[in-house]
Amino acid sequence: METIRRTKIVDLLKCRDFGTMVNVKGWVRTRRGSKQVNFIALNDGSTINNVQVVVDLANFDEELLKQITTGACISVNGELVESVGSGQAAEIQAREIEVLGTCDNTYPLQKKGHSMEFLREIAHLRPRTNTFGAVFRIRHNMAIAIHKFFHERGFFYFHTPLITASDCEGAGQMFQVTTMNLYDLKKDENGSIIYDNDFFGKQASLTVSGQLEGELAATALGAIYTFGPTFRAENSNTPRHLAEFWMIEPEVAFNDINDNMDLAEEFIKYCVQWALDNCYDDVKFLNDMFDKGLIERLQGVLKEEFVRLPYTEGVKILEDAVAKGHKFEFPVYWGVDLASEHERYLVEEHFKRPVILTDYPKEIKAFYMKQNEDGKTVRAMDVLFPKIGEIIGGSEREADYDKLLTRIQELNIPMKDMWWYLDTRKYGSCPHSGFGLGFERLLLFVTGMANIRDVIPFPRTPRNAEF
């Protein structure tokens, strides 16, 4: 085959240099045709759109053509011509074809619809489908948007440790990291494991959040964000939970709860706008195939100002709904940690736009949140979205040493792990705020996918760590 420089299909489809010779490489999606001419739909992952390769059968060897099946990888030299059919502006009249990799008939992605459950079983091949190609291109774009957003506003990207000896949320649902022989653990007289010979000389875990270290960084660099994997060992087999997921956590010195809400709203709108501006073909495909209201919902979030609602008022709205006959699966009362059905009622039925819920009861929130004057509530904020429920959780942090210490003691959090965190309240404490956004929750919203396992390449969930 003559060597011509490869053109990516995403660029080729914009090309209008008809009559020139081009080279494309990619995977065959379909091949159809008559006795004289075949049409190959070729995709190389650079775009949701295929390029059509027109093959005049008289010019090609029959044995070669037999190898061009769905899933095969080919290189094509041909003439770029204006497309006769509708759908695309340009197509390729094949002059030379080389088969780079054959694909036999056991290939599971034949031309028919596949269920999401089936595709999870072949997660190593699902990126080749239109759906997952779109999802993973959007995933990349959202990561770029996040870095751009913070960089443009003078934030510094700060890397917090993945292996840690502190439990940020006090949740206790952490994966342990060890080099010890689990079949032969040394224990003391009380039956507690002795970690002296372990790699770190003490119990270590995978992080559930980079927030505490992020707060340290904010008191030095002013405004930082973390963006990395976090791990939760909770046995939640739901469409919204993963054991390994990615988190974005900005932390900003001198921001109060209102600044925090402004930042969260601006941030999430920026990301949604980026998806519409930079991934429109992929978003439109997902809109047309999966979720007919997706684009409308994305545009809706950009148009509206988010509602800012104290928890106490939110509970009252929900109680009124119950009084009027609305049925919730879980009970509603002041002090309850709202379930996602309650969050979605406020967003989808009552206000019909995103809601930022504030001033939660301190009992249901983490130890580091700033307490309000009423002694009952804290300056927490949860951003609630249609179809998802909570997408962001954050707060103004408690900057007062004594109040923070009291709260840590009330909750029996082991002080040996927290001395360094308390130091920030001892040495030049300042008001500061931050929040955490689960990256996959953002992706659920932007792609319209129904299950969080379908927005990460290789999901890690209870009893599942394949590939």
Torsions phi, psi for 191 (to 5 deg): 85, 5
3-state secondary structure of 446: helix
> 144 and 71 in one domain?
no
Q: Specify whether the CB–CB gap between 97 and 113 falls below 8 A.
A: no
> 179 and 37 in one domain?
no
Q: Specify whether the CB–CB gap between 379 and 369 falls below 8 A.
A: yes
When pLDDT is averaged across residues 304-331 and rounded to a whole number, the result is: 97
> 197 and 290 in one domain?
yes
**Which amino acid does the sequence have at 121?**
E
The pLDDT of residue 361 is above 90: yes
> 200 and 165 in one domain?
yes
> 418 and 284 in one domain?
yes
> 63 and 145 in one domain?
no
pLDDT of residue 298: 96
Both structure tokens of 232: 């939760």
What is the C-alpha to C-alpha distance for residues 313 and 326, in angstroms, rounded to an integer? 17
Supply the DSSP symbol for 351: I
**292 confidence band (pLDDT: 50, 70, 90):** very high
**How does pLDDT run across 7-25, given as a tens digit for each residue?**
999 999 999 999 999 999 9
Read off the CATH number of the domain in which 55 is found: 2.40.50.140
The pLDDT of residue 35 is above 80: yes
Closest to 365 (Cα-Cα) out of 339, 345, 395, 386: 395
For residue 272, the surrounding DSSP H or E stretch is: helix 257-278
What is the C-alpha to C-alpha distance for residues 252 and 4, in angstroms, rounded to an integer? 52
Distance of CA 363 to CAs 34, 336, 346, 359, 422, Å?
71, 9, 22, 12, 21
Quick check: is 92 in a domain? yes
The pLDDT of residue 430 is above 90: yes
**113 confidence band (pLDDT: 50, 70, 90):** confident
When pLDDT is averaged across residues 228-247 and rounded to a whole number, the result is: 91
**Which amino acid does the sequence have at 411?**
L
Q: Would you tell me the crossing angle of helices 257-278 and 280-289 to the nearest 10 degrees?
A: 90
Quick check: is 392 in a domain? yes
Quick check: is 73 in a domain? yes
What is the C-alpha to C-alpha distance for residues 22 and 306, in angstroms, rounded to an integer? 50
**How does pLDDT run across 196-215, given as a tens digit for each residue?**
999 999 889 999 999 999 99
pLDDT of residue 172: 59
Read off the CATH number of the domain in which 403 is found: 3.30.930.10
Quick check: is 179 in a domain? yes
Quick check: is 382 in a domain? yes
When pLDDT is averaged across residues 238-263 and rounded to a whole number, the result is: 96
What's the total number of domains in the chain?
2
The pLDDT of residue 169 is above 70: no
**How does pLDDT run across 124-145, given as a tens digit for each residue?**
999 999 999 999 999 999 999 9
pLDDT of residue 84: 79
Q: Specify whether the CB–CB gap between 340 and 384 falls below 8 A.
A: no
Quick check: is 48 in a domain? yes
Q: Specify whether the CB–CB gap between 219 and 212 falls below 8 A.
A: no
> 289 and 211 in one domain?
yes
In this structure, of 217-221, 293-297, 385-389, the range with the lowest mean pLDDT score is 385-389
pLDDT of residue 235: 86
**167 confidence band (pLDDT: 50, 70, 90):** low
**343 confidence band (pLDDT: 50, 70, 90):** very high
Range of the structural domain that residue 410 is part of: 126-306+353-454
The pLDDT of residue 150 is above 70: yes
Quick check: is 173 in a domain? yes
pLDDT of residue 214: 96
